[in-house]
Amino acid sequence: MEELDLRKPIENAITGGAGDVSAPENVELHWVQDLVQEVMMLENLPLQSVKHKALTVEGYSRAAVQSYWRVPELKLGFELGGSPWSFMGTQTFFVSHAHLDHLAAMPVYVARRRMMKMEPPTIYLPEEVVENVERMLRAWQRLDRGRMLCTIVGVKDGDLIELSREHKVRVFLTKHTVPSVGYLVYDCRKKLKPEFHGLSGNEIRDLRTNGTEVTAETLTPLVAFTGDTAPKGLDAHEDVLKAQILITEMTFFRPDHRKEKIHKFGHLHLDDILDRADRFENELIILSHLSTRTHEAQAAAALKSRMPESLYSRVRLWT
């Protein structure tokens, strides 16, 4: 890939190429602003978006086509089956498994960040696939003749990853035809321990001075992401069905779709969702990854006719 630094032409247009912070008279500043906006707003892939409270979910997912998601406010994304231009600024991605429609765009994403002089990204993957993913990137590095700069982190069931003081990510096991995991994103807060409720500020300060830990960390599940999974993935951790937002799959929905075969190949049927209808505590449930052999309108009609209203009102079919 030819390296193209779009920042230098913009800088030169603003500074006159000589570091002068004032634009020369013959340069239209609004042209420069329009160029910056155009670079950031390129649309190269389908993309949907939904906002729930303080979080925005953006992405696309269709079985055997491509899957990619991000939550801008959390500064993270899930899956790299495709790489929308606007996702390039997100530095941290969590990938559930190594099927092509979930990982094929990883070299593109990594190369674009290098091309645009951004910091190398960090990509979390099931630990079983790390070695082969590294081999794949080295092959693309030779083909592309450009460095594939990134940090690859292998994860396993039970890992708790600290992203920042405010957010942690827990890894849980899912069930697919290849090694696969899901991710739970938590909001982390320090709260006063119950035994110290009612104490004055001075008393709490004295306890801290004496080395007493007066607070305890509380983890509130914000986003649960399962990737492709059989029903075991939904049941792998209690917080999957408690997170504020659940992003999961519903690849099949028709009655003639054989659930035994669907589960064998690591997917969910609408019946699997309905079987847990009274257990979902999520405020927003995104059902995605429809089979390309089914029609979106038929899936939407099936949800409307078969789901109880208490569940249907919280579901968004991602098509």
Nearest to 216 by CA among 200, 203, 199, 197: 197
In sequence order, the β-bridge partners of residue 154 are: 125
Contact present, 126 and 94 (Cβ < 8 Å): no
Nearest to 99 by CA among 290, 266, 293: 266
User: How would you class 286 by CB atoms within 10 Å of its CB: exposed for 0-12, middle for 13-18, buried for 19 or more?
Assistant: buried
Cβ neighbors of 139 (< 8 A, separation 6 or more) are none
Condensed to tens digits (0 to 9), the pLDDT of residues 252-284 reads 999 888 899 999 999 999 999 999 999 999 999
Backbone angles phi, psi at 285, to 5 degrees: -120, 115
Instruction: Please report the pLDDT score of residue 8 as a whole number.
Output: 38
Please check the confidence at residue 103 and state whether its pLDDT lies above 90: yes
- The pTM score is 0.84
Q: Where are the domains of the chain?
A: 43-317
Instruction: Please report the pLDDT score of residue 30 as a whole number.
Output: 53
Instruction: Please report the pLDDT score of residue 40 as a whole number.
Output: 54
Q: Which three-class secondary structure state does DSSP give residue 34?
A: helix
Nearest to 171 by CA among 216, 224, 218: 224
Instruction: Please report the pLDDT score of residue 13 as a whole number.
Output: 33
Query: What is the widest separation between alpha-carbon atoms in the chain?
Result: 71
May I ask the CATH class of domain 43-317?
Answer: alpha beta
